[in-house]
Structure 1
Amino acid sequence: MLMVCYNSKCYKYEIVFSVTMNKYTEVDIKEVELREMTGDVQTVGRNKNGSLKRKVLSTDELMKDAGTLGPVFWLVFGLFIVVLVGEILYIVLTPGCKPVSEMNWWNKGPLYQISDLVAFSDGLAGVEKKLDYISELGVKGLVLGPLHTIQVDQPDTLNLTEINPTQGTEAALVALLEKAHKKGISVVLDLTPNYLGASPWFRTGDLDDVMEKVTTAAAHWLRLGVDGIKISDLSHASMSPDWSKLQSAVQGNNTKKRLLMGVVEGVSAAEVSQLITSSGVDLVLSDLLSSRTGGVEHIKDMNILHSQQRNVGWGLGAARLDQLSKQVISQDLIRLYQLLLFTMPGTPVFTYEDEIGLQAQGGKMVWDIEKEPAEGAVEAERKKHVAIRKWFRSLSELRGKKPSLLNGDFYPLHSRASSLAFLRMWDQSERYITAVNWGAASERLSLTPEPTVGLVLPEKVKVKLSTDPSLEAESTVSLDRIILAPRQGVLLEYPACFFNRTLVSRS
């Protein structure tokens, strides 16, 4: 609808567009009405009821009057055509949304391992009582156990369907499952057979018999409502002729997706990739972060595995059920590795108390860090652990909401002996750059994508989260001036669409 006024007369033009398949195909000008708009306009006349009569102009008369309007009409009409052309170009040139690949529940949030349920919270019943706490961490899956009884290195005594009484009862497990499912948390049982012995699968000649017991036990616990099965030494287990039977028991249910999770240690990223393909397992947790300590190696490993990220689990110490605090030398590094795990291409896997940066003290998990202690050094230590948990929750929440972090593409930007940086991006969502420096000295990062990928980075980005006091959250920084203090990390954010006056150099 256009309204044009000229010489005390106002004209209303109604232009109707016919649209087919999102493209404008024709423009029609209808018969247009001339109304009395001011007292200076001669009245056409009134009906018997006193209402104003209307004079309807034909198309020829309209165009004749339009000619008398001079440049005003054509200026407005020209602007309208410009807007119309812009809309058409936007529809034609704007790329469609990238289709989202299927995401399973274990891809959507961190997995939280509780190997010793007594140390965590007095067994299965205690874990059920702590589900509110666990839910606050954004956990999508609990990995419990092993819970079964075992006599070390004696396969004949193996009973995978009986819960060790010190850990709880089957009824307590059912109650835990029901409450966890109401909170959107899935539960996985660790059925590693000889978990206290020298070899997880006993002697080489025992593999087939033990695999049969594991398959039978898996079917039992899955019928009870468990959401997945975890085993150790996947490389060895998948060599069994009966491996496919375990796969069928766990993955064969089409009504609900269940997790078959395997752990490997001491293998390369290329071997992990090959094992994912050959074993058909849903998720492989390796010790790559623990066994390979350099930034260059970490970037190479992520680059190899990023295309299989839905099948890759990352943890620091998690493959051995160790806590972060056993692997690092300072609380600063705990937050740095939390940042790394939550933003790497794959599923982050933690062990209980990683969220507060502690080890179980005296065999029990510390639950009173929110309480106000007396004063002095104890209070300062308490505040550190509270801050670590707050950092953990912020990362978990962000990962759960942002497609680029959840399942985005991975691009290396920087790697040195004690530092690395990479980009995560997905379609039209915000992009994120993770940069960490676990070295003992400050380091200036050179954030440049590989020339072959054709990426352009913005000149300036926003600091989303940071452990470095010099890089304050929500501040804007230049990418060519990122300097990380020792043992610090930062998460940078920029929009999918940005304008650069100067492109980032590609050295």
Structure 2
Amino acid sequence: MPAWIEHAVWWQVYPLGFVGAEPEARPREAGPLRRLPRLQGWLDYAVELGASGIALGPIFSAATHGYDTIDHYRIDPRLGDVGDFDAFVAAAHKRGLRVLLDGVFNHVGRDFPAFREVLREGAQAPLASWFRLSWPRGRGPGAVPDHANFEGHDALVALNHDEPSVVDYVAGVMDHWLRRGADGWRLDAAYAVPNRFWAEVLARVRAAHPEAYFLGEVIHGDYAGIVRATGLDAVTQYELWKAIWSGLNDRNLYELAHALERHNGFLDSFAPLTFVGNHDVTRIASRLADPRHLPHALAVLFCCGGTPSIYAGDEQAFRGVKEERAGGDDAVRPAFPEDPAGLAPYGWPIYRLHQSLIGLRRRHPWLHGARSTVLDLTNETLALACQSGAGRLLLALNLGEAGADLSAPGARAVEAGEAELIAAGAQARVRLPPHGWAILAA
């Protein structure tokens, strides 16, 4: 893991949605529409938020939503061209922002040139071995094979990760864009790719780019085991994401406490990517049953160990529900205004809360490796000690309709939120108002 990630806070953007790109690819002869500069105009907003990096969704030439790639070496013409990419990276780096790219290497779109050759030439196509194919209708030119796909989506053609030239291809793509200025890669659907494939690719790429960061999208499974087997720096912490909103909605903070205990174990071997929202899930402001608990979710995110990521719009309390249907992601991937001045006024208090909590994290950089210890726990109340080395903060949450007194040994002062210290020293207690929260120096 590169040392710089210990201070990272990502602002995650889904570019095609952000700039209002049309849902389907532009014809090659039509030329690019230069929309990346529009996103570039939001970099100062990200800096003011407190972010240290921009985690981009797909930006490479694709048929529709960006995850059906046509050409990994070409910027999607709905966004611009390579010159626009270079300018974006230069502008980000000038502001001290890292740039993380989204690599879709489990599958490609049906218009990926090597697969088009298969459809034209049959089993004799030069790169037919790049795909997992069967030929029930014959193997000659024009025969349409059956192919492995991603989670039942026929338009997403799975690559054959046992093929050495696929290893070469993916390593080459990753190397190319890192040399062009990117600082790392998010690897989409990493859980669907054999660990041995990532181990070979990442060893090769890391040898040339030792300061690059590699994040794998993993939803379920043995997070620590996957990191060990692949050479990834981190994986996405979906367990904690679910426990945050579910524990708050059900007023079952035992669920959150259990997830944080498991999170401690992950921190023994890697620093997970933590989040309360991303481009694949219902927004946190829509997910929470009680809007008074949004600050509670953010307090957990910024006090626990790991590398926090904020999905663009969540810092403005954007709402949006993901639906399991074609186009069901559209509500969580909206177009943004031309610049921050076009944002609605209601979201700015949540933006300022993000600023405050990110500022707290900057003052306590040891939080990247902090473990959480339960001090006081009921269904509706939770007090935690968040600690790493000599650093120590306390986090207290109350989901109830009445005020609550919680054990807070060592609490000295309120750093964020609202609370009253009842006593000091080892017997200290903190009094929270109804639906209150606080982060305390200790």
> What residue number does 2:206 align with?
251
Q: Secondary structure of 1:410's match?
A: strand
Offset of residue 410 of structure 1 = 3.2
CA distance in 1, matches of 2:99, 2:340: 26
Q: Please point out which of 431, 438, 441 is paired with 1:490.
A: 438
Q: How does the TM-score come out when normalised to structure 2?
A: 0.71
> Aligned pair 1:159/2:71, yes or no?
yes
Residue number in structure 1 paired with 2:232 = 281
Deviation at 1:447, TM superposition (A): 3.1
Q: How does 1:227-242 map to 2 (within 5 A)?
A: 227-239=183-195, 241-242=196-197
The offset of 1:319, in angstroms, is 7.2
Aligned with 1:224 (options 164, 169, 180): 180
Distance 1:364 1:425, change over 3 A: same
Q: 1:342 aligns with which of 269, 286, 302?
A: 302
Amino acid at match of 1:358: F
Q: Which residue of 1 aligns with 2:32?
A: none
For residues 321 and 249 of structure 1, the distance between their equivalents in structure 2, rounded to whole angstroms, comes to 33
Deviation (angstroms), 1:487? 4.0
Q: CA deviation at 1:108?
A: 0.8
Show the counterpart of 2:216: 262
Structure 2 distance, partners of 1:125, 1:204, is: 33
TM-score (structure 1 length as normaliser): 0.63
1:21-170 aligned within 5 A: 104-119=3-18, 123-151=35-63, 158-170=70-82
- Is 1:398 paired with 2:346? no
Rounded Cα–Cα distance in structure 2 between residues aligned with 1:444 and 1:187: 43
Partner residue of 1:82? Answer: none
Q: Distance in 1 between matches of 2:279 and 2:161?
A: 21
* Aligned partners of 1:414 and 1:420 also within 8 Å: yes
Counterpart Cα distance in 1 of 2:69 and 2:318: 35
For residue 226 of structure 1, report the CA deviation from its aligned partner: 0.6
Q: Structure 2 matches for 1:464-475, cutoff 5 A?
A: 464-466=415-417, 468=418, 471=419
Deviation, structure 1 residue 125: 1.0
* Aligned partners of 2:42 and 2:339 also within 8 Å: no
Question: Residue deviations 1:438-485, cap 9 Å, x none?
Answer: x4534635437xxxxxxxx32x5311110x4xx2xxx64437643444
Cα gap change, 1:358 to 1:281, in 2 (>3 Å): same
Corresponding residue for residue 11 of structure 1: none
How far does the alpha carbon of each residue in 1:270-303 deviate from its partner, in whole angstroms, 9 at most, with x for none?
A: x222222222211211321343323223323322
**Aligned pair in 2 of structure 1 residues 140, 444: CA closer, same or farther (>3 Å)?**
same
- Structure 1 position 419, deviation (Å): 4.0
Name the count of aligned residue pairs: 362
What amino acid is the match of 1:433?
L
1:386 to 330, 335, 348: 348
Residue 189 of structure 1: how far off its partner (Å): 0.6
In 2, Cα distance between equivalents of 1:219 and 1:234: 18
Deviation, 1:172, is 0.9
Whole-angstrom CA distance in 2 between matches of 1:369 and 1:440: 36
Shift of 1:166: 1.1
Query: After the TM superposition, which of the residue ranges 166-175 and 301-310 deviates more from structure 2?
Result: 301-310
Give the CA RMSD over aligned residues: 3.5
Q: Return the alpha-carbon distance in structure 1 between the equivalents of residues 57 and 175 of structure 2.
A: 17
- State the 1:311 CA deviation: 2.4
Q: Secondary structure at the match of 1:386?
A: helix
Residue 250 of structure 2 is matched in structure 1 by: none
CA–CA distance in 2 between the matches of 1:465 and 1:157? 44
Report what 1:323 is aligned to. 283
Which consecutive unaligned segments of at least 5 residues does structure 2 have?
Answer: 22-34, 110-148, 248-252, 321-330
Are 1:365 and 2:336 counterparts? yes
Query: Shift of residue 132 of structure 1?
Result: 1.0
Q: In structure 2, what is the Cα distance between the partners aligned to 1:127 and 1:222?
A: 20
Given the superposition, is the C-alpha separation of residues 180 and 365 from structure 1 closer, same or farther in structure 2, using an over 3 Å criterion? same
What does residue 98 of structure 2 align with?
A: 186
Match of 1:355 among 293, 298, 315: 315
Distance in 2, matches of 1:444 and 1:463, equals 16
State whether residues 69 and 104 of structure 2, in contact with CA within 8 Å, keep that contact through their aligned partners in structure 1: no
What is the alpha-carbon distance in structure 1 between the residues aligned to residue 340 and residue 89 of structure 2? 27
Which string of whole-angstrom CA distances, capped at 9 and with x for unpartnered residues, describes residues 109-130 of structure 1? 3111101345258832112121
Gaps of 5+ in 1: 1-101, 374-380, 449-456, 495-507
For 2:422 and 2:413, locate their aligned partners in 1 and report how far apart those are by CA, in whole Å: 6
Q: CA deviation at 1:398?
A: 1.5
Larger Rg over CA atoms: 1
Give me the whole-angstrom Cα distance separating, in 1, the residues matched to 2:48 and 2:93: 15
Answer 1 or 2: higher relative contact order, Cα 8 Å, separation at least 6.
2
Corresponding residue for residue 382 of structure 2: 420
Paired residues of 1:160 and 1:214 also in contact (CA < 8 A): no
Q: Note the C-alpha offset of 1:221.
A: 0.7
Amino acid at match of 1:355: E
What is the deviation of 1:171?
0.8
Aligned AA (1:184): G
- Check the 8 A contact 2:236/2:274 in 1, yes or no: yes
> Are residue 433 (structure 1) and residue 403 (structure 2) matched?
no
Deviations 1:241-291 (A, max 9, x none): 43223212442236x511111111134xxx222222222211211321343
Mean Cα displacement is larger for which, 129-138 or 327-336?
Answer: 327-336
Structure 1 residues 156, 291: CA separation in 2 closer, same or farther (over 3 Å shift)? Answer: closer
1-structure distance, mates of 2:70, 2:184: 20
CA 1:296/1:279 → structure 2, altered by over 3 Å: closer, same or farther?
farther
Q: What letter is aligned with 1:435?
A: A
| Identity across matched positions, percent | 20
Q: Which residue of 2 aligns with 1:79?
A: none
Which residue of the partner structure matches residue 299 of structure 1? Answer: 257
